[in-house]
């Protein structure tokens, strides 16, 4: 009886961990990756819960071009120090946030859920790619998602990432405590202008209906910082998806 109880607790804990990873919904459990037989072109074959990865019509990322004027309100960031640990989840390094503040997207307030990184950037800008991007994943009271994407270009050392990258767990499944709580506002550029479109999660189950706000101005990161992340994940970016008839507003 005790063994069965312990097993049940372990399974619940595993499910909860999978559900929070990269802000994904707790759907599907099949292993996926960024290459080979479990790579992006095969995600939909790995688990029925991943069907949207192939059949969806509003998938992310996209190549941002041919934009049109929008009437969106400026993003209203109200972040505070919230994340206290870094998790190597086997796909990226992420920071789960319990009380890290929020962003107001038009008339809706979304609470910051986690921050994670991709290299190179999944987003393209008329074909241009950045060496790294951060995705700041948010959720509103109804469970709807909004992602703010921040691009990184190679240049000076990023002070906000110094402690963060120094604490990155080197092995998948490991967690490391941060020397200081992470405040996501430290990742934001001075200019908060953005591109807006509706897309999806860029990892399985590729759920659609996600509000995307991709900031136009990049922030800098040093070559050494890029190399430190790429030692763990040389490439963890989904290829661009068909835009179809979606509007991209700026």
CA–CA separation, 132 and 236 (whole Å): 10
The residue with tokens 């960031």 is 77
CA–CA separation, 223 and 90 (whole Å): 23
The pairing of beta strand 83-88 with beta strand 93-96: antiparallel
Note if 91 is an active site residue.
yes
Catalytic residue among 91, 116, 135, 138: 91
CA–CA separation, 74 and 107 (whole Å): 10
In sequence order, which residues have a C-beta less than 8 Å from that of residue 236 and are 6 or more positions away? 34, 91, 92, 118, 119
The tokens describing 72, both together, are: 């969106």
The number of residues making up the chain comes to 250
In sequence order, which residues have a C-beta less than 8 Å from that of residue 228 and are 6 or more positions away? 165, 168
CA–CA separation, 84 and 180 (whole Å): 7
The residues annotated with a catalytic role in the active site are 91
């Amino acid at each position: 009886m005790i063994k069965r109880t312990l097993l049940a607790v372990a399974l619940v804990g595993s499910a909860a961990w999978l559900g929070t990873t990269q802000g994904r919904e707790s759907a599907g459990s099949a292993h996926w990756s960024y290459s080979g037989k479990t790579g992006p072109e095969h995600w939909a074959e790995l688990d029925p819960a991943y069907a949207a990865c192939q059949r969806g019509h509003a998938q992310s990322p996209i190549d941002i071009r041919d934009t049109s004027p929008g009437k969106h309100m400026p993003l209203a960031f109200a972040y505070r120090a919230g994340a206290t640990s870094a998790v190597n989840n086997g796909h990226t390094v992420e920071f789960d946030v319990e009380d890290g503040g929020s962003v107001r997207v038009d008339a809706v307030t979304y609470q910051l859920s986690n921050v994670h990184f991709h290299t190179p950037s999944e987003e393209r800008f008329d074909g241009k790619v950045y060496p790294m991007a951060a995705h700041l994943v948010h959720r509103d009271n109804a469970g709807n998602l909004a992602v703010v994407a921040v691009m990184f270009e190679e240049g000076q050392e990023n002070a906000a990432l110094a402690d963060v990258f120094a604490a990155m767990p080197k092995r998948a499944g490991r967690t490391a405590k941060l020397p200081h709580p992470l405040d996501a506002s430290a990742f934001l550029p001075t200019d908060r202008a953005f591109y807006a479109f509706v897309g999806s999660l860029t990892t399985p189950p590729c759920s659609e209906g996600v509000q995307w706000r991709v900031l136009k101005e990049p922030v800098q990161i040093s070559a050494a910082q890029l190399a430190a992340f790429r030692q763990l994940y040389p490439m963890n970016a989904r290829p661009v998806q068909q835009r179809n008839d979606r509007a991209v507003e700026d």
